[in-house]
Amino acid sequence: MSETDKVFEHEYDGITEYDNPLPGWWLFLFWATIFFSAWYLVYYQMGHGESVEQQYDREMLALYDVQMKQLLKLGPINDEMISGFAAKPDMMSSAKGLFAQRCAVCHGQLAQGNIGPNLTDAYWLHGGQPTQIYNSISEGVPAKGMIAWKTQLPAGQMLALAAYLRTLQGSNPPNPKAPQGDLSQPEAKK
């Protein structure tokens, strides 16, 4: 025991306790983790940081784009190909996020129609079959103010959006825009 050591004044069963300070490296790590956790909370939970779910959706859309390039080498886009994507829940989840990010401004959060037409009813202005929907997304409708997304989105994302829009038919959102266009029912399965 040196003269600089501080001993607490209490004693238990003949045992005294030293008041030793924590090592500097330990205190540094302790405060660094507190400051990091505060920054993390503000940036990722309250700020603009990408959530784990958003990161997953982004990575899945990139994977679908790679898969689409391989599929497109096998043959042209057809209704069966697009309809098959609607059965993939992870793809539809990613497409839902993409819809909210790119399409909801004009078509509404629930696709009920805003500036653009209602996408949940059976009426379509430019055809309601999957390939027609894909072409509307890809080529746009400049006369009506819809941009051609082929310059901004890869083919895989446009195919996922076309499949997602087919899943919205009949969802009956609140306050839908009145039907526009021609009635287009899904073709019967053969």
Burial of 121: CB neighbours in 10 Å, binned 0-12, 13-18, 19+:
buried
Report residue 68: phi and psi, to 5°. -65, -40
Is the sign of the CA dihedral 134, 135, 138, 140 positive or negative? Answer: negative
Cα(177)–Cα(107) distance, integer angstroms: 9
CB atoms < 10 A from the CB of 46, how many? Answer: 8
Contacts of 139 (CB under 8 A, 6+ apart): 148, 150
Contacts of 86 (CB under 8 A, 6+ apart): 92, 163, 164, 166, 167
Among 111, 134, 126, which residue's Cα sits nearest to residue 181?
A: 126
**What pLDDT score was predicted for residue 71?**
72
In the numeric block, which tokens belong to residue 106?
Answer: 């004009």
Give average pLDDT by consecutive 10-residue segment, the chain, 190 residues: 68 80 92 95 85 83 77 78 85 89 92 91 90 92 90 86 91 89 65
Q: What residue ranges do the domains of the chain occupy? A: 7-46, 52-183
CATH topology of domain 52-183: Cytochrome Bc1 Complex; Chain D, domain 2 (1.10.760)
Tally of CA atoms within 13 A in the half-sphere of 7 that contains its CB: 10
